[in-house]
Amino acid sequence: CKRACIRQNDVPDYGYRTDILEVKLDHGPEFGSDTTFMPILCNQCNNPPCVRVCPTTATWKDERTGIIVMKNEACIGCKTCMTACPYNARYFHEGKRAVDKCDFCWETRLSKGKAFPACVEACPADVRVFGDLADTESRVFSLLHTPGKLVWVLRPETKAIPNVFYVNH
């Protein structure tokens, strides 16, 4: 998924739009420990701190898609949005001379008619599920509304109201 994202979105080696965290889980002396992998990316927040702080409105939440988008020409490189993001989801792209981050491949794929972001299409384990949460027939909707499923978001205390959800198996 990382490689697909890099190829698709011209991500340099000093930045990332999505990354995979390795999390060690300790189950106590009887059960030992194991490692789990957690994808991270821009959470396309409903109350995005990055948008609030941008002095040039170079970034905003697109009303139709809900995706937080960037207008590179309007970015002055102040990096305030990078500091404001509680998910460390932004980096400064030297080539674009603008801050860059995941836009669910809106610019490079979805706006051109593709159904899925590159990472979702590339994942061999069906870990990343992408869709329209407002569509009650969608797979994401049913995944998040299955009784007994544990659903969580990262750093809920920030009140950014993220739209990236994690579920148990």
**Interacting residue ranges for ligand SF4, rule: CB under 6 A:** 42-45, 48-50, 68, 85, 87, 89-90, 101, 160
Q: To the nearest whole angstrom, how small is the minimum distance from the Cβ of residue 89 to ligand SF4? A: 4
For residues 48 and 79, give the distance between their C-alpha atoms in angstroms, rounded to a whole number. Answer: 15
Q: To the nearest whole angstrom, how small is the minimum distance from the Cβ of residue 129 to ligand SF4? A: 18
Q: Please state the separation of Cα 102 from the chain's center in Å.
A: 6
By beta-carbon proximity to ligand SF4, the closer residue of 48 and 117 is 48
Contacts of 125 (CB under 8 A, 6+ apart): none
CA angle in degrees (0–180, nearest 5) for 59-62-76: 10
By beta-carbon proximity to ligand SF4, the closer residue of 90 and 109 is 90
Nearest to 43 by CA among 138, 154, 127: 154
Q: To the nearest whole angstrom, how small is the minimum distance from the Cβ of residue 50 to ligand SF4? A: 3
Q: To the nearest whole angstrom, how small is the minimum distance from the Cβ of residue 98 to ligand SF4? A: 13
Q: To the nearest whole angstrom, how small is the minimum distance from the Cβ of residue 55 to ligand SF4? A: 15
By beta-carbon proximity to ligand SF4, the closer residue of 46 and 146 is 46
By beta-carbon proximity to ligand SF4, the closer residue of 5 and 68 is 68
- Residue at token pair 């990096």: 79
CA angle in degrees (0–180, nearest 5) for 17-22-24: 155
For residues 45 and 89, give the distance between their C-alpha atoms in angstroms, rounded to a whole number. Answer: 11
By beta-carbon proximity to ligand SF4, the closer residue of 145 and 155 is 155
